[in-house]
Structure 1
Amino acid sequence: PIKNQSLVNYISWFTREASITYRDKTLLLSSFAFDLGYTSLYTALLNGCELHLVPKEHYMLPETLITYLKEKKISYIKLTPSLFNYLVNHRMVEDYENCMALRLIVLGGEEVKSADISKFNRVYPQTVIMNHYGPTETTIGALFHKFNATDFDLVSKGTVIGKPVDNTKIFILDRGQKLVPLGMAGEICIGGVGVTEGYLNQIDLNSEKFITVSPLGHEKIKLYRTGDLGRLTCHQEVEFLGRIDNQLKIRGYRVELEEINS
């Protein structure tokens, strides 16, 4: 279960970080059952923005989506990198150069593609693109990184997923659940207000994924083990390096290869 405090913490952080006001307009680009869409949904509801809801077949077609974004003057959206890829590589994006009102695009649910970000940035340099990382177990998002033109070489070498949102702590741990040295790879573990209470009626899974440790050697803290491999850069940002298991993310959904029967 996710606590009210966790959701309020996230929405309050995003509202401030993205400078959301009642003048903004956003479009829901995922199912209500998928937490990717909660960024748009709850920030709109709590800030009095315009929240646009359209059938899935509308936003899954690039030409329809681009036209809607332009005509309705949508100012911020959150979507998967897969959908962003369809959007960026459609000819209408360049045909409508500087005609869309988008000031912010948030990407989440999958690893970003640097070529797509670079291509969109050339046409819409005024639009901020934010990478957003966070498993559902940590309430929508736990890390973020705003891209700029100087990032693209860095992104091509590894996905920078950034720094923690408010009241969130990130630790890179080894197999013994000890902190690894700066720059070394380890499992990304997340603590703080956003960590959920756990899975309902799944005692074994809870004990595996939610741990209570003392990574700094004194105060104990509850952490969620993401199963993702990462390292902390010299800029104190986390770089995503892949999975420590065979899990994949496809259009934002988790797929366990071991559970697929041939």
Structure 2
Amino acid sequence: MIKSHAFVNLMHWYTHEFTFSESDCVLLIASISFDLAQKNLYAPLLTGGRLCLFPAGVNDYAGISETIEREQVTMINCAPSLIYPLIDLHAPEEDQKDLGHHFSRLRSVNRLFLGGEPINLLKLRPWTTSPSFCAEIINTYGPTE
């Protein structure tokens, strides 16, 4: 029989450290076979929140953006390379002055967990410096580290 004490400990720490609640909506964009997906699957369910499954392929960044806005997603957990194209989709052209509306679809995100690879802060900057940014970025690097 396989014991699950380590996973229970991980979920207890994760949901308490990052204060998951019934008001959270977690977007699952990673395959359920990916190790970080397990936290995404169970954290909202253990705390009374919502789990939002993205049905289309991960390359549909316009669809992901629409889902974030429609479902009022509060938390995303993914590899940095999956968030960069989403930021690029909303980034204003260099000659545009009004930056307020460009990232408005991402306004509900208040926690962004990035792991699995190094984070390039320059690629996050267009969003993090916009008026629509109100998220905490957490570097989880990997669940086994």
TM-score range normalised by the length of the shorter chain: 0.7 to 0.9
Identity %: 26
Could you tell me how far 1:80 is from its partner in structure 2?
Answer: 1.0
Indicate yes or no: 2:126 matched with 1:127: no
- Residue 74 of structure 2 corresponds to 75
Find out whether 1:45 has 2:51 as its counterpart: no
* Kept in 2: contact 1:10–1:141 (CA 8 A): no
Shift of 1:3: 4.1
Normalized per residue, the structure richer in strand is 1
Indicate the RMSD between aligned Cα atoms, in angstroms.
Answer: 2.2
**Partners of 1:103 and 1:127 within 8 A in 2:** yes
Equivalent pair of 1:76/1:105 in contact (CA under 8 Å) = yes
Q: Gaps (5+ residues) in structure 2?
A: 93-98
Compute the displacement of 1:55 (Å). 2.0
Tell whether the 8 Å contact from 1:75 to 1:104 is kept in structure 2 after alignment. Answer: yes
Q: 2:113 aligns to what?
A: 106
Alignment of 1:1-262 (within 5 A): 3-57=3-57, 59-91=58-90, 95-99=101-105, 100-123=107-130, 124-134=132-142, 140-142=143-145
Cα shift at 1:54: 2.3
CA shift in 2, pair 1:55/1:2, >3 Å: farther
Residue 74 of structure 1, CA deviation: 0.5
Say which structure, 1 or 2, has more relative contact order (CA 8 Å, 6+ apart): 2
Aligned positions, number? 136
Higher CA-based Rg: 1
Q: Take 1:88 and 1:45, find their aligned partners in 2: how far apart are those partners?
A: 28
Q: State the 1:15 CA deviation.
A: 0.9
Q: Confirm or deny: 8 A CA contact 1:66 1:92 kept in the other structure.
A: no
Q: For 1:104, give the aligned amino acid.
A: R
Q: Distance in 2 between matches of 1:20 and 1:96?
A: 28
User: Hey, which bits of structure 1, 4+ residues long, moved more than 3 A?
Assistant: 92-99
Residue aligned with 1:52, SS:
strand
Structure 1 runs not aligned, ≥5 long: 135-139, 143-262
Shift of 1:92: 6.5
Please say if residues 117 and 129 of structure 1, whose CA atoms lie closer than 8 Å, have aligned partners that are also in contact.
no
Q: Determine which structure has the larger helix proportion and give its number.
A: 2
Provide the TM-score with structure 2 as the length reference.
0.82
